[in-house]
Amino acid sequence: MNRIMTIAAASLFASPALAAGDKPFFSLANTDFVVTIGFLVFIGVLLYFKVPTLILGMLDKRAEGIKSELNEAKALREEAQALLASYERRQREVQEQADRIIAHAKEEAVLAGEQARADLERSIARRLAAAEDQIASAQASAVKEVRDRAIAVAIKAARDVVARQMTAKDAAKSIDDAIAEVGQKLH
């Protein structure tokens, strides 16, 4: 309030009317005097209705509002930074988990490939063994068939030779000898 009074007093004494020496300053004919009086009345009305206090109160209230908005903005900023840090941490965790899953899948694929290769090798070995067994069986069967055929041919040839050279007396003796030999082997 003292400041306003000082400004009003300075405006009175710094008036251009004081420089004009032809009219008395305190006359109603002097427009500068009338303007100065009007200005002082205006300042007085402002002071009477406590307008400077109201203006200062509004300015203080506005400053408090700005301060609270700044504090709220600061709190929101800190919250946003914390949230961003949380999301970044979670993103890193998800990325690490994805990397682990990929590495595990690669390991499983390698193991599955090795297992499939081992299974294929065992299957091939079994089939080779089965084929070798079939070949051996076919070979044994062929050898037996050739033997049986050779025996049949030899028996036929021997029968033909014996039939040409044997007489009835030799045949009867041979039958008796065979019966005696069978009798001895059975007892």
- Which of 21-30, 74-83, 114-123, 175-184 has the weakest average pLDDT? 21-30
Contacts within 8 Å (CB) and 24+ apart, 167-174: none
What mean pLDDT do residues 161-178 have? Answer: 77
If one compares 155 and 3, the residue with the highest pLDDT of the two is 155
Tokens 């800190």 found at? 78
pLDDT at 12 over 80: no
| The two three-digit tokens of residue 6, written as one number | 């000082």
Segments making up each domain of the chain, as ranges: 2-95
| Spatial distance between the Cα atoms of 3 and 47, rounded to a whole number of angstroms | 12
Flag whether the pTM goes above 0.75: no
pLDDT at 3 over 70: no
| The two three-digit tokens of residue 41, written as one number | 């009345």
| Spatial distance between the Cα atoms of 141 and 149, rounded to a whole number of angstroms | 12
pLDDT 10s digits, 124-157: 999 999 999 999 998 988 888 888 888 888 888 8
